[in-house]
A and B are shown apart, each in its own frame.
Chain A
């Protein structure tokens, strides 16, 4: 049975369910349950639910140590940029320890954080920085775009035996959607086809999935049928589903809130250029954030980010229609 709940409630529900089914799951972070009246503290006790100081290196490093000693920590890091403070633990410790030990150890840890809070939070709290994590083999990346995926991908993240960056877009947290009750697991590495279409493939991530679907509706009114694919996880990346869609449509527009260079969009473009070039009828197009720091003032912030108009305009261009000013 599904019922409509907000995205943020779906995340919390998944954490509670995973803590119920597995005693080794612990949850902690800055401002996590400071009150003993917190429902998670009431349910699982202070051993497994703790509030930690502003010490990202210790928080993330301790997650690595907990994981090495048989636990499944979920660290609440609030904002993805705070991971930068402890970058060594995120990218140079957690994902490398298994490989360097010759497969002797595993590091099942979830680094949970928000990203893309483009609501006037300016340059240091609005980034969509996950693209850089794609360069670290061993580190998985989940970007849930719907309340149901927020629940199902958290369940997978906790159960995964590897470190996972589980990143929620802050602009989505109050959006409602159907979420199955009880145990619900969305496997990593399986893209979702959010809308089927035959004229163009739009691959969109995280918050931009909804923007791409809205653009697709507009385009449908013009007789253009767009297929919208949400990879759901960037590592593992379901290139097979993307390539199969491009084989059908012959055209690809990639939409991502991150920057263009060194980002998720560039990786997807390269995969399709290498493995699907023969099926393309037009050059691959990318709709990403501009390669600038996100500015504070609203009109500038909007100018930098992808939106429905930019997506629709780019699709029209790819289909050979008249260019539309970005």
Chain B
């Protein structure tokens, strides 16, 4: 694991801002350009520090798989935000040509092998990719991202058992945002109900389990980095529970055509009537928290932070405009046999 110098810290802050701004633009699209986004989107606002802290540990040849809440990973890896936004808008210039949409981003050239839209199902795929890394024997690792809800799936348990048994070079990063859609962890997780962290699940598979503040990108970097070092050394997998608070609802409302889509308020408010929980999370927002910290420790000047924010703002202006201007795919492109069969 490399030391984080000031340039790297500022890079991490910049990526966090880019994810935040991107997700804000997705959300605003429902108001500003009704009908442009179809189906379901899931935002990573609140999880930026966890995503960036994790991906900052990657080395060339490493790979990752994630879930349908996937915009933040390719943004951090350097995928053009124009292509990602165009994909979410269903356009021809989209990252996946309009075949996948918000839930199914992939950029294999940057190590992002893809996602599953089904809870937990990307975990065994990440585990298989880790077997591939073990076979290559070049010190590469895989990061497998999933939510706390996925840890109730058989796919999670089967995969952790096998990865530990075979000492596969993988770090399982559970982004625990405290909710399965609208159900709180204590309602559906035995460990949570018993007052234990979800990382204790690692014990059942004889691997280290670590709980970390997912709002602190440096803490995440250190936890995932240490787990990655362990994996690279051939000592097997680690389960990281990264505690985050998503600042948007699970996703935009699901409705039949004709009903305008939008983001409702967070489930803490709409389901549990607990506005204070949500507002406390806003007060702890990881993005301004990290900005203040970098300025305080002299890694970043306030003026430079504002410039970065403006650059990110301009980048996303351009991404939205590009996506709006991009044509739709030709309908008959849906029948491309070479996309159905390699």
> Contacts A61-B155, A69-B63 given: A101-B127 contact, CB under 8 Å?
no
Complex CA distance for A162 and B95, rounded to whole angstroms: 22
Interface residues on A, range: 35 or more
- When distances are taken between beta carbons in the complex, the residues of chain B under 8 Å from A137 are 340
Stretch from A45-53, A110-118, A165-173, A213-221 at the B interface = A45-53
Closest to B170 in A: A65
Q: Closest CB-CB distance, A107 to chain B, in whole Å?
A: 8
Is A69 a contact partner of B124 (Cβ separation < 8 A)?
Answer: no
Does B336 interact with chain A (Cβ within 8 Å)?
yes
Residues of chain B in range 89-143 having any CB-CB distance to chain A below 8 Å: 94-100, 104, 106-108, 113-114, 116, 118, 121, 123-135, 142
Cβ A68 vs Cβ B162 within 8 A: no
* Chain B residues near A100 (CB-CB < 8 A): 96, 99-100, 104, 106, 114
With a cutoff of 8 Å between Cβ atoms, the chain A residues found around residue B124 in the complex are: 57-62, 64-65, 89
Set of chain A residues within 8 Å of B306, measured between Cβ atoms:
none
Q: Are B131 and A62 touching (Cβ within 8 A)?
A: yes
In the assembled complex, how far is the CB of residue A18 from the closest CB belonging to chain B, in whole angstroms?
16
Chain B hits for A62, CB < 8 A: 124-125, 127-128, 131, 159, 162
Task: Assess whether B135 is in contact with A98, with CB atoms less than 8 Å apart.
Answer: no
Query: Complex Cα distance A97/B118, Å?
Result: 12
In the bound complex, residues from chain A placing their C-beta under 8 Å from that of B128 are 61-69, 73
Q: Is A92 an interface residue (CB 8 A)?
A: yes
- Interchain CB contact under 8 A, B339 and A53: no
Q: Give A130 to B275 CA distance when docked, in angstroms.
A: 52
Query: Taking the complex as formed, is A108 at the interface, i.e. its CB lies under 8 A from any CB of chain B?
Result: yes
B330 at the interface (CB under 8 A from A): no
Closest to A97 in B: B114
- What's the nearest-Cβ distance from chain A to residue B224, in Å? 19
The reply on A106 being an interface residue by CB < 8 A is yes
- Complex Cα gap A138–B337 (Å): 9
Shortest CB–CB separation between residue A160 and chain B, in angstroms? 8
B-chain residues with CB within 8 Å of residue A65 when the two chains form the complex: 65, 113, 124-132
B131 touches A66 (CB 8 A): yes
B152 to chain A, nearest CB (A): 14
Closest to B123 in A: A61
Contact A101 B340 (CB under 8 A): no
Which A80-103 residues have C-beta < 8 A from chain B? 88-89, 92-93, 97-103
Query: What is the CA–CA distance of A194 and B161 in the complex, to the nearest angstrom?
Result: 47
A98 CA to B104 CA, complexed, in Å: 11
| B272 interfacial contact with A, CB 8 Å | no
| CB-nearest residue of chain B to A85 | B154
Interface residues of B in 128-179 (CB under 8 A from A): 128-135, 142, 154-155, 158-159, 161-162, 165-166
Say whether A161 contacts B342, CB under 8 Å: yes
Q: Which of A57, A71, A88, A102 contacts B132 (CB 8 A)?
A: A71
Report yes or no: B125 in contact with A68, Cβ–Cβ below 8 A.
yes
A102 CA to B95 CA, complexed, in Å: 8
Tell me whether A269 is interfacial, beta carbon within 8 Å: no
In the bound complex, CA of A62 to CA of B107 (Å): 19
A97 to B113, CA, bound (A): 10
Interface residues of B in 36-66 (CB under 8 A from A): 63, 65
Q: Taking CB as reference atom, which chain A residue is nearest B154?
A: A57
Bound-complex Cα distance A55 to B99 (A) = 31
Residues of A within 8 A of B104 (CB): 100-101
Nearest-CB distance from B75 to chain A (Å)?
17
Q: Could you tell me if B118 and A88 are in contact, using CB atoms closer than 8 angstroms?
A: yes
- In contact, B132 and A70 (Cβ under 8 angstroms): yes
Knowing A65-B113, A66-B128, A88-B118 touch, does A57 contact B162 (C-beta < 8 A)? no
Instruction: Give 6 nearest A-B pairs by CB, closest first.
Output: A65-B128, A61-B124, A62-B128, A69-B132, A102-B97, A58-B158
Known: A61-B159, A69-B132. 11 other contacts (CB 8 A): A26-B135, A61-B125, A62-B131, A64-B125, A65-B125, A67-B128, A69-B113, A71-B132, A103-B336, A103-B339, A104-B108
- Interface set of A (CB-CB < 8 Å, partner B): 26, 47-48, 50, 52-53, 55, 57-71, 73, 88-89, 92-93, 97-108, 137-138, 140, 161-162
Enumerate 13 A-B pairs (CB-CB under 8 Å) in ascending A order.
A57-B154, A61-B121, A61-B124, A64-B124, A65-B127, A66-B131, A71-B131, A71-B135, A93-B125, A100-B114, A104-B108, A138-B340, A162-B342
